[in-house]
Amino acid sequence: MKKKLLSLVVLFIVATQMVSAQCAMCKASAETSMEAGASEAAGINTGVLYMLMITFGMLTFIAYLLYKGHKATRKLEE
């Protein structure tokens, strides 16, 4: 169990570093587009919000499953 948790933590740290590298590229693209007066920045912002909503939705679902599992475990222990 501890090996799984450690593996997930390491994967999360590596994935976070890869994602932060992409954010800088999107930011630079959005700033350049806004300076040029293009509406492409609005599309990038919409895409970022869409990805953010999916991420928070998945995290909420996982938190619900963990809560439900913990609650069931507590009932069995009593």
The four Cα atoms 15, 65, 50, 16 give a dihedral, to 10 degrees, of -10
Distance from first CA to last CA of the chain, Å, rounded? 24
Residue 4 has pLDDT above 70, yes or no: yes
Residues 13-56: pLDDT tens digits? 777 666 655 666 677 777 777 777 766 666 777 777 888 888 89
Q: Which pLDDT score, from 0 to 100, does residue 21 have?
A: 55
Q: Which pLDDT score, from 0 to 100, does residue 41 have?
A: 65
What is the three-class DSSP state of 13?
Answer: helix
Q: Which pLDDT score, from 0 to 100, does residue 59 have?
A: 93
Distance CA(3)–CA(18), nearest Å, equals: 23
Q: Which pLDDT score, from 0 to 100, does residue 31 have?
A: 73
Extents of the domains making up the chain:
2-77
Task: Note every long-range contact of 58-66, with CB atoms under 8 Å and residues 24 or more positions apart, other chains counting.
Answer: none
Distance CA(39)–CA(61), nearest Å, equals: 34
Q: What pTM was computed for the model?
A: 0.48
Q: Which pLDDT score, from 0 to 100, does residue 7 have?
A: 85
